[in-house]
Amino acid sequence: MSVDEVQKNIKNNFSIPPHKTSNIKKVIGVVSGKGGVGKSLITSYLAVLMNRKGYKTAVLDADITGPSIPKVFGVHEKAMANSDGIIPKLSKNRTKIMSLNLLLDSEDTPVIWRGPVIASTVKQFWSDVLWEDVDYMFVDMPPGTGDVPLTVFQSLPVDGVIIVTSPQELVSMIVSKAVNMANTMNVPILGIVENYSYITCGNCHEKISVFGESHTDEIAEKFGLKVLGKIPIDPSIASACDKEAIEELQGDWLELAEEVLCNLQ
């Protein structure tokens, strides 16, 4: 038996079915090798963009100890449950959301849990939530290559991952780890999104690389990946997040990512 066959068997043995009422067509993981690169922003905005195209979208917030998805969408009411399972909350434009913050008594309550409990919670968000019909589910994962990404890759039928990074010197090593983990788990990589890529001068409209020369294109070429978008440092983005109005944000930065998602078989 080949290494690929062994890995496939391991994944099949750990995979769990969604809730019996759920019909989820595509599952997209959004990952990063390190924190602070704006992964939750990218996750949220991808869901918004696909929702605008008429698809039914959902976000599973797997960043259990640092959940931020509900706040970006302006969703604060606690999720409820019935005898069948947990009912996800709906954003203003009807994107379904499930996050631990929607189950806590207070959003400020710290989550001081060990890895196995966190991993179990992520599985429950998949199997015990009444997602019903979803065209694209985006899974916002914590940074790194620890318990949660491993749990998601093993337990959920992930159709592809998008790697979020920033234009800094360490990007090569950081992205390499994320790429290698996805490859080890036989999860397709859809491409890379670079956040905090540049600022645009208000006078001459020149793009200025605040963090120095970007190496994202080089890394993408090294691994044979697409760069799906470069997100600028833009006041409108920060304002949309601060105002909890990600669904009002307008920008064409992720057009290629939209195209790749729409063409996903």
Binding-site residue numbers for ATP are 33-40
Beta bridge partners of 236: none
Q: Exposed/middle/buried for 197, CB within 10 Å: 0-12, 13-18, 19+?
A: buried
Spatial separation of the C-alpha atoms in residues 257 and 183, rounded to whole Å: 20
> What one-character-per-residue DSSP string does 34-76 give?
SSSS-HHHHHHHHHHHHHHTT--EEEEE--TTS--HHHHHT--
Binding residues: 33-40
Estimate the crossing angle of helix 3-14 against helix 147-155, to 10 degrees. 90
Q: Dump strand ranges (E) for the chain.
A: 23-31, 57-61, 80-81, 86-87, 89-90, 96-98, 133-140, 160-165, 189-194, 199-200, 207-208, 227-230
Distance between CA atoms of 160 and 170, rounded to whole angstroms?
24
Place of tokens 């640092």: 66
